[in-house]
Amino acid sequence: MNEGFGLVVRFSLRDQECAAAFDELCAVTLEGIRADEPGTLAYVVHVPEGEPLVRVFYELYADRVAFEAHEVQPHTRRFLARREQYLAGVEVTFLDVLGGKGAGWRE
């Protein structure tokens, strides 16, 4: 069994202006994740169909240590500090990985 650890985060945004600013903040954050987080196996931002003021993040880490390393990165700290001004709500679901397929996946 893999040690993978994941989460799904659903962000509800205040309005379209906040959604645009939040998307910009996400783009900058993703640059840091791509450059500095080898233990982050997947970090994908989604817009659900028909819900223009919602963003859903799917995050998959090699293990909890990789997640904890992500949480202390400067780009993540910046995201966490600035996101609140755009949000109407947030829901987080932590996931223990049972198995799967994807880039970087270990059997």
Measured between alpha carbons, how far is 62 from 60 in angstroms, rounded to an integer?
7
pLDDT in tens, the chain (107 residues): 457 899 999 999 999 999 999 999 999 999 999 999 999 999 999 999 999 999 999 999 999 999 999 999 999 999 999 999 999 999 999 998 887 776 655 55
- Is pTM, for the whole model, over 0.95? no
Backbone angles phi, psi at 64, to 5 degrees: -65, -30
Beta strands in 1-107 (DSSP E): 5-13, 40-46, 54-61, 87-96
Measured between alpha carbons, how far is 14 from 87 in angstroms, rounded to an integer?
6
What would you measure as the largest C-alpha separation in the chain, in angstroms?
43
Among residues 54, 59, 48, the alpha carbon closest in space to that of 94 is found at 59
Question: Could you tell me if 10 and 94 are in contact, meaning their C-beta atoms sit under 8 angstroms apart?
Answer: no
